[in-house]
């Protein structure tokens, strides 16, 4: 990934369906252009997202979520359930060769994240190796997985990566406030509760967090890579269009 041309994109706030469709579309773009994209975005409504292979039926229901004013979407990546609300979300899409280890790309992206957090005054680090929990029994922020970013042992950034047909997508949540405790109240079945997470607001106080995180991450990419340009949200329209129907479909969201 170090030799790839990079593009930077600020998508702003959008629905869960739109944000997942853009992420999936940018994987298509990576295959065709050979470029990596770092994208920042937010969520226009509180949204519960399920990991690609995670069980949702019997644990959550559309009726319960609708009554609480919470949308639902299923991610193209794996991992466990998340509540997206007060956070900044990042995604990286890039072409990838079959012989590049997943851990190598994960670490390369983590270096950008760590550079940005350090520039913001946060002493973040990668979590120590630990057994990876199986999807289905807990929320994403119930504990940090190996390689996720923590501050003082508490998860600050939860990430997941998927690879398909020569491209990767890694995206993750950078918490401004800790809303993950709400997931248990939204569930129709017992759920292992999230432990208190590290958050930007608790660590550094009130700030214009979205702009600060965006600028720090974009600067970190510029510092590490020679060829860096920018994209506009309009540049993603054609790439996302092919994926909207899938992420809007209840058959996808509630398939498991």
Nearest in space to 79 (alpha carbons), one of 21, 26, 137:
137
Catalytically active residues, by annotation: 140
CA separation for the pair 29, 180 (Å, rounded): 32
Nearest in space to 140 (alpha carbons), one of 52, 12, 11, 27:
52
Q: Which one-letter DSSP state was computed for residue 127?
A: P
CA separation for the pair 83, 186 (Å, rounded): 10
CA separation for the pair 115, 55 (Å, rounded): 35
CA separation for the pair 159, 56 (Å, rounded): 19
Token duo for residue 13: 């706030």
CA separation for the pair 256, 199 (Å, rounded): 31
């Amino acid at each position: 990934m170090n030799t790839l041309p990079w593009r930077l994109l600020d998508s702003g706030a959008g629905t869960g369906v739109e944000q997942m469709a853009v992420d999936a579309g940018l994987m298509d773009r990576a295959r065709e252009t050979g470029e990596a994209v770092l994208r920042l975005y937010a969520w226009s409504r509180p949204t519960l997202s399920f990991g690609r292979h995670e069980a949702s039926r019997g644990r959550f229901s559309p009726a319960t979520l609708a009554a609480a004013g919470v949308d639902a979407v299923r991610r193209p990546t794996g991992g466990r359930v998340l509540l997206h609300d007060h956070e900044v979300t990042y995604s990286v899409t890039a072409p990838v060769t079959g012989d590049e280890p997943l851990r190598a790309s994960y670490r390369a992206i983590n270096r950008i994240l760590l550079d940005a957090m350090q520039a913001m005054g946060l002493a973040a680090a990668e979590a120590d190796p630990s057994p990876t929990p199986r999807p289905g029994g807990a929320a994403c922020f119930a504990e940090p997985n190996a390689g996720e970013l923590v501050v003082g042992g508490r998860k600050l950034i939860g990430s997941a990566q998927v690879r398909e047909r020569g491209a990767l997508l890694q995206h993750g949540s950078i918490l401004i406030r800790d809303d993950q405790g709400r997931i248990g109240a939204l569930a129709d079945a017992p759920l292992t509760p999230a432990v208190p997470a590290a958050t930007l607001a608790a660590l550094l106080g009130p700030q214009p967090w979205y702009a600060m995180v965006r600028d720090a991450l974009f600067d970190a990419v510029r510092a590490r890579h020679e060829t860096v340009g920018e994209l506009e949200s309009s540049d993603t329209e054609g790439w996302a269009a092919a994926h909207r129907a899938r992420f809007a479909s209840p058959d996808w969201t509630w398939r498991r």
